[in-house]
Amino acid sequence: MGRNLSETRLIARIFLNPAGDGRAMNMRAFSALRPESACISGGAGRVVAVVVTHDRLEQLRCTVTSLLRTPPAQLAALVVVDNGSTDGTEAWLAGLRDPRLQVLRCAQNRGGAGGFAAGIAYAQQACAPDWVLVMDDDARPCPGTLAAFHAADLGGWDAVAGAVYLPQGGVCEMNRPSHDPFRDWRVALATALRGRAGFHLDTRHYGGTAPVRVDAASYVGLFLSRRALRLAGLPDASLFLYADDMLHTLRLTRAGGRIGFFPALRFEHACEGEGGRVPPLWKLYFRYRNSLMLYRVAAGRLFGLVCLVVLPVWTLRALRRRGQRAAALRLLAGAVMDGLQGRTDRAVARVGRGAAGGSQVPEASHRRSGWT
């Protein structure tokens, strides 16, 4: 169920400034939205972008510059959530003078989940959006995408997912929208036979022109309407990283919302996670814990069967971690225990210490689906 305005204000205030003393955040807030700007909107109404960043200033420069080149009629405001960056991001953002820019400075890195929850809550409170557009700091709309969105027939759609590509031109695998693999027997059978390819959109959909209905989508190039946020509420800030977008959009679908994949709305994602690179060890905990939480919601009574399939696969992956096997198995065990119990209160720093060599948790903003 969606949250009302008073709940949204409370979430944003507690999340961004838990001490209540003004030190945990820096908001370029209501004064930046001049009254005359409130009526500026295109065919789709007021579109407000929300971008979450942590210590990736070079990527953020490209994204913010690209978004602020967009005419105000197509982009009414831009909310940047700075997740405790230490690389000069705060100073660079402070030097920008576009009145549409709203900066939320978090004292700590709250992860992609926490950043998007706070950013969307703030956008709802301060910017009066008809649509909220979410993306990572290394993702940005291709030229003409926002104009195409305003010109599109959005009737009957509660959320709109764009087509996300890598800079080299290929489809970004981590951002493929998907069907619910447990929606009906046909999708379930395709999933059993083809794995991930059985329920994610295939490349032929990217070459089409008509919207395609989907059940879940990532937070790169996703437009959420007012109705979508009423139906689904805010993403779960406690997840930190992985599957927050899938759980949120699946909740929207289960609540009766309609998500459309619009292949003409193109986005670029200059992500580092493609190409088979093994993710940092500390991320395994969040990936596996949150995936179990996602599978429980999606699979329902079949959740036990899903566990019998995925847990041996995850264990084998941990065993293949040369030189990190013990730490990987330890993190996997904690993730499974917490995921089965629905616990999201394990401290991020503790997860980092559980990884080999006490590795730190430097960033947490890439949008990777929880489906594995």
Residues 6 or more apart from 135 whose CB is under 8 A from it? 49, 50, 51, 63, 141, 219, 220, 221, 222, 267
Interatomic CA distance for residues 156 and 25, integer angstroms: 38
Structure tokens, 56? 């990736």
Please give the backbone phi and psi of residue 278, each rounded to the nearest 5 degrees, phi first.
Answer: -70, 130
How many of the other CB atoms lie within 10 Å of CB of 357? Answer: 11
Task: Please tell me the total number of residues recorded for the chain in this structure.
Answer: 372
Interatomic CA distance for residues 49 and 102, integer angstroms: 10
Contact between 132 and 126 under an 8 Å Cβ cutoff? The reply is: no
Contact between 233 and 1 under an 8 Å Cβ cutoff? The reply is: yes
CATH, domain range 5-269 = 3.90.550.10
Strand 222-225 to 131-136 pairing: antiparallel
pLDDT-based confidence at residue 271 (cuts at 50, 70, 90) = confident
Interatomic CA distance for residues 371 and 228, integer angstroms: 22
Mean pLDDT of 81-95: 96
pLDDT-based confidence at residue 303 (cuts at 50, 70, 90) = very high
pLDDT in tens, 134-173: 999 999 999 999 999 999 999 999 999 999 999 999 999 9
Task: Say what the pLDDT of residue 190 is.
Answer: 75
Beta bridge partners of 52: 81, 136
Considering the chain, tell me which residue range(s) the CATH 3.90.550.10 domain(s) occupy: 5-269
pLDDT-based confidence at residue 37 (cuts at 50, 70, 90) = very low
pTM of the predicted model as reported, rounded to 2 decimal places:
0.85
Task: Say what the pLDDT of residue 196 is.
Answer: 76
CA 15, 244, 365, 111 torsion: positive or negative? positive
Helix and strand counts by DSSP (H, E) for the chain:
13, 9
Task: Say what the pLDDT of residue 370 is.
Answer: 56
Question: What is the average pLDDT score of the chain?
Answer: 85
Contact between 140 and 221 under an 8 Å Cβ cutoff? The reply is: no
Contact between 75 and 135 under an 8 Å Cβ cutoff? The reply is: no
pLDDT in tens, 238-249: 999 999 999 999
Residues 6 or more apart from 182 whose CB is under 8 A from it? 188, 298, 299, 300, 302
Residues 6 or more apart from 80 whose CB is under 8 A from it? 51, 52, 53, 60, 64, 93, 101, 102, 103, 104, 119
Q: In this structure, what DSSP letter does residue 175 have? A: G
In the predicted structure, residue 363 carries a pLDDT above the cut 80:
no
DSSP secondary structure, 232-283, as one string = H-S--GGG-SSSHHHHHHHHHHHTT--EEEEEEEEEEE--SS-SSPPPPTTH
Instruction: Using alpha carbons, select from 236, 243, 256 the residue that is nearest to residue 295.
Output: 243
